[in-house]
Amino acid sequence: MTAILPSGGPAADAEADRPPWSREHLRLHRHLLHEPSLLPQGASLLLALSGGQDSMALLLLLRDLSRLHHWQLHLWHGDHGWHAEAAAMARSLADWVTRSGGSLLIDRADHRHGQATGEAGARQWRYDTLLQRARELGCSHVVTGHTASDRAETMLINLARGCHRRGLASLRASRPLQERTLVRPLLIFSRAETLAITQAWKLPIWLDPSNDDRSLERNRLRLEVIPTLDRLHPGVERRLAAQAERLAEDEDSSVELTDLALSALLHPDNSLKRRRLARLGRANQRHLLQAWLQRQKVPSLKASALKTLLAHLADPSRSGSMDLAGAWRLHWQGDALTLISSSSPHVPDAKR
């Protein structure tokens, strides 16, 4: 069931029609040399192959670059079973991969057990299954064909939902997938560019009928909102994706600065220095309190609870406690704000 494509070309009958090494190959090659942790030399990669233009373009580029980066490439297709042609499409894609000299691992969602139901359910099933297959095959990296266009769409969706800056910076080039790494090397390309790659190299594309379903949030954004924005501001996808990348860099910088600030606010027992925290601006107090809780795997406080807590902490003569989600309790006394288990029979003694 392992799919390993040779470093030669696609199907033999298309070999004569292939253009030479392209600017797109060079562009991705240089990008990976500049960011070597994305797809390390010699890594075993599991590529999610939908059969659409993005994943087919990614397959071509990774296969051709394997001779330089020495990857072992495995192919996986997830059949969500959302339309009548899904199984036939998976078979056709597998036949093409076989003619190209490889094989395709296919998993089908079982709707009897509620798998791949709705957009969120399909995404969860897809990543859960990819992780399972990566473990079985010994792949360190799972690779998907997300592009800058996908990143722009995700940013707009999260903006409309009122997400935090972290949400606007989502769909990063890589993220942990439990003990594996999920990588999106095509974020430097747009969807228009992946289409051009498939056309130039005469690659087949399997179109998913569900892509035209405007009841799905992302489809409606892609088919209606983005074209309208692009008519108003040509090149909007590229700029939105670039803005998401800048926000991701800002978020990473903020995390580093937060770690530095927290180190100056901690007592040796990891309790928080209450008086020093109170001297900061309210926005920084909120941010550092939430970061301190997150470090200890405690759910973030709601805005109303956080406001109440800060009001209590402002007066160093007051002591008290607050129950949190997840069987935790905050206790403040003297200069210490302490996190303890709510199952503990005792709260900390007064100190400092």
- The one-letter amino acid at 330: L
Note the pLDDT of residue 348: 47
Q: Going residue by residue through the chain, which has 352 residues, state the pLDDT in tens, using 9 for 90 and above.
A: 333 443 344 444 444 455 568 999 999 999 999 999 999 999 999 999 999 999 999 999 999 999 999 999 999 999 887 777 889 999 999 999 999 999 999 999 887 666 667 778 888 999 999 999 999 999 999 999 999 999 999 999 999 999 888 889 989 999 999 999 999 999 999 999 999 999 999 999 998 887 888 888 889 999 999 999 999 999 999 999 999 999 999 999 998 999 999 999 999 999 999 999 989 999 999 999 999 998 888 888 888 888 888 888 888 788 998 888 878 889 999 999 999 875 555 544 444 4
**Cα 352 to Cα 341: distance, rounded to the nearest angstrom:** 21
Put residue 344 in one of left, alpha, beta given phi > 0 → left and psi -120 to 50 → alpha.
beta
Q: At which residue do the structure tokens 């373009």 appear? A: 57
Q: Dihedral of the CA atoms 6, 8, 9, 13 (nearest 10)?
A: -100
Buried b (16+ CB within 10 A) or exposed e, 61-94: bbbbbbeebebbbbbbbbbbbbeeebeebbeebb
Note the pLDDT of residue 157: 94
End-to-end CA distance of the chain: 63
Q: At which residue do the structure tokens 């008086």 appear? A: 275
Contact 52, 89 (CB under 8 A): no
Q: What are 332's strand-pairing partners?
A: 320, 337
336 phi/psi in degrees, rounded to 5: -115, 130
Q: At which residue do the structure tokens 């299954």 appear? A: 129
Contact 315, 294 (CB under 8 A): no
Note the pLDDT of residue 14: 46
Cα 7–chain centre separation: 28
- Structure tokens belonging to residue 52: 């659409």
Note the pLDDT of residue 118: 72
Note the pLDDT of residue 129: 96
Largest CA distance in the chain: 82
Cα 1–chain centre separation: 27
State the DSSP code for 262: H
Note the pLDDT of residue 296: 86
Look at residues 130, 145, 125 and name the one whose alpha carbon lies nearest to residue 49.
Answer: 145
Look at residues 70, 104, 100, 89 and name the one whose alpha carbon lies nearest to residue 2.
Answer: 104
Query: Could you give the domains of the chain?
Result: 12-242 (3.40.50.620), 264-341 (3.30.465.60)
Note the pLDDT of residue 120: 80
- The one-letter amino acid at 280: L
